[in-house]
Amino acid sequence: MNINSTSIQSAQPITQFSNNLSDFSLKQSITNAADQSPEGVSASATLSITGTLNSYHEPIPISFESFTSSSEATDTTQSLSQALRFSNDSFNSSSNPLLNVTNRFSEFLNNSGESQKEDIRSYSTYTTDGTTNKPDMEGFKDRKTDTLQKMQFSLTTKDGDTITFNIRHYAGDGSNLAYQKDNPDQSLVQAGFSGIEMDFSVNGDLSEQEIEELPKFASNLNQFSNDLLKMGKMDLETLGLSDLSLISKAAINIEGKNAEVKFEFINTDEQRSLSVNFEGNSAKIDIDKTGQLINASTETKQQALLHYLSMMEENGRDADASKLQRDLAADVFSIAMKDNSSTTNEMEVSPDLFKPKHKEQEARAFIALPDFDFEFNSPKAQLNVTEHPEEMAGYDLSLSLNSEQRILNDVVTTTQKQSFELTGGKYDPLPHLEKVDLKYGNYEYTSFDIKSEKVIEISSDKIELLSAVMTESFESDVHKKTYSEKDLIDEEHQKEATADFQDIKQKLAAVENYSNKDIIDLTLLEVGSWEI
């Protein structure tokens, strides 16, 4: 029940005449002269009616806040309570009271880092006595509450300490009716309300370094959540994940008015993973830090990273991915790859093998990135379910790098396998139309299944390169149908399968540096055009 929806015109007293007969005093004085007076004297009767006048006031709307906290109120809590009051006002319904709520995270940390709970509530009710005094809320009980938004954050430090911060934005109504019946001197209070519940907990003893790093992340988190709550936009770079040197795991779940996001980040000595679900799109990458076989230059790593990002962008466009989808895939991939350092050795083999005496020794591996598995899944939609339920719009993308190293009689054999797969379906408008016309059946529909793989195997001893071979395979299955006025007017089905084997030892021997761009381009996976 939203009390604020009541229409209020004035607060002037209204004088009314009671229509309750019990409020009347009736006096009747009758003298019957007929019985007691001489004949001819008329009888008389007097009727006196006295009414009781009551004064009423039209309801006056009022709002007030309450705080339930184990800590003192701060500028942040005052700001949040004011935002709650504005959100109750129909004229300010676009405001979001959870903006800047994560500032409380830093304040809780600064308050000895102890577990705390807090409930900030804004009431909307009315008075009927002509004043705007806050009513006595004794005996007030919630009738119902509904969750409007929620935010959940959890962090785990590398020492094993855990910090959780849960936030719930809610609204509801209630009254003190039950209490007032037993306490007739208490005025009846009915009120609507909205509130913010916060639950901050710490399990473990935070070090000074952790307490120093966490507020920096909280500041980033505040900017990240504000962008999401205000504009429905997400910028993962804002979180500054590569700066979290003392955090091994971070999880975020935000269900706001404008957008929802689920996020999980893991960073240990051996593993780095990032998983994001945003507006039904999911992107996930798992990185094996121990799987990076070479200590390549930053430039070489950047070349490999840009190559993969370009391949993802081009194939995303071919799959009719939106800009949001392409950006999400690229952000998750590049942010997770931004810092892949590890405290462990690249691979536990003889240290001498990583101190090449000749340039051939550098050819133990070429892909200057750690092993990874990346997946992107977009929402799937049957947009033409009545006519063609088999048609499905959306796509799935997977990309991976897996390395293996074997040592036998001082011969090191390294195998690096790159894999790519893209499956899905898309709609395109007819050449003479600007948009897809499903209503009248004028469109092109294409389903696709693309696979590509490249495997490089290199063998060398401590002195020279013994062998270097590369195999490539590519498969595509693309089916395109063209409809006009719901009639199938054209159909193309293209299937392709190719395989190639190359001995690349001579190519490697012909260059001075294995970080040469030609060699990088030769060894990195390439997916050709597959559109019909």
pLDDT tens-digit series, residues 234-270? 999 999 988 888 999 999 999 988 889 999 999 998 9
Q: Which residue has the higher pLDDT, 438 or 15?
A: 438
Split at pLDDT 50, 70, 90, the class of 53 is very low
Distance (Å, whole) CA 12 – CA 362: 91
Distances (CA, A) of 243 to 82, 246, 271, 294: 34, 9, 16, 24
Share above pLDDT 90 across residues of the chain, in percent, rounded to a whole number: 52
**Spatial contact of 437 and 415, defined as CB atoms under 8 Å apart:** no
Q: Assign 3-state DSSP to the chain and report helix, strand, coil percentages, each to 5.
A: 25, 40, 35
pLDDT of amino acid 110:
80
What are residue 62's DSSP bridge partners? 125
Mean pLDDT across 465-481: 95
Mean pLDDT across 371-398: 96
Position 26 pLDDT exceeds 50: no
**Spatial contact of 202 and 114, defined as CB atoms under 8 Å apart:** yes
Cα Dmax for the chain = 155
Position 44 pLDDT exceeds 80: no
Distance (Å, whole) CA 79 – CA 98: 10
Position 20 pLDDT exceeds 80: no
pLDDT of amino acid 42:
39
Q: Which of 136-150, 168-182, 285-299 has the lowest mean pLDDT?
A: 285-299
pLDDT tens by residue, 73-122: 788 888 888 888 877 654 444 578 999 999 898 888 887 667 889 999 99
Position 381 pLDDT exceeds 90: yes
Task: Give the tokens for residue 507.
Answer: 């190519």
pLDDT of amino acid 3:
35
pLDDT tens by residue, 438-452: 999 999 999 999 999
Tell me whether residue 298 is exposed, middle or buried, using C-beta atoms within 10 angstroms of its C-beta: 0 to 12, 13 to 18, 19 or more: exposed
Mean pLDDT across 201-211: 89
Please list, residue by residue across 446-476, b when 16 or more beta carbons sit within 10 angstroms of its beta carbon and e when fewer do: bbbbbbbbbbbebbbebeebeebebebebbb
Position 296 pLDDT exceeds 80: no
pLDDT of amino acid 429:
97
Split at pLDDT 50, 70, 90, the class of 70 is low
pLDDT of amino acid 360:
40
Split at pLDDT 50, 70, 90, the class of 135 is confident
Split at pLDDT 50, 70, 90, the class of 516 is low
Q: Which residue has the higher pLDDT, 8 or 360?
A: 360
Distance (Å, whole) CA 468 – CA 418: 16
Top-ranked range on mean pLDDT: pick from 29-38, 39-48, 113-122: 113-122
Mean pLDDT across 478-498: 96
pLDDT of amino acid 114:
78
What are residue 265's DSSP bridge partners? 250, 274
Mean pLDDT of the chain: 81
Q: Which residue has the higher pLDDT, 22 or 489?
A: 489
Distances (CA, A) of 416 to 340, 355, 473: 18, 20, 14
Position 341 pLDDT exceeds 50: no
Position 316 pLDDT exceeds 50: yes
Per DSSP, helices labelled H in 296-348 are 298-318, 323-337
Position 46 pLDDT exceeds 60: no
pLDDT tens by residue, 213-240: 888 899 999 999 999 988 888 999 999 9
Distances (CA, A) of 389 to 383, 386, 392, 445, 492: 8, 6, 8, 12, 19
pLDDT of amino acid 36:
44
Q: Which of 167-176, 265-274, 289-298, 494-503 has the lowest mean pLDDT?
A: 289-298
pLDDT of amino acid 130:
75
Distance (Å, whole) CA 419 – CA 405: 18
Q: Which of 62-66, 222-226, 273-277, 287-291 has the lowest mean pLDDT?
A: 62-66
What are residue 251's DSSP bridge partners? 154, 264
Quickly count: other Cβ atoms within 10 Å of residue 407's Cβ: 12
Q: Which residue has the higher pLDDT, 417 or 39?
A: 417
Distance (Å, whole) CA 330 – CA 83: 36
pLDDT of amino acid 112:
63
**Spatial contact of 437 and 431, defined as CB atoms under 8 Å apart:** no
What does the DSSP 8-state code read for residue 393? B
pTM of the model: 0.80
**Spatial contact of 167 and 201, defined as CB atoms under 8 Å apart:** no
pLDDT of amino acid 455:
97
Residue 272 amino acid letter = R
Q: Which of 239-248, 360-369, 413-422 has the lowest mean pLDDT?
A: 360-369
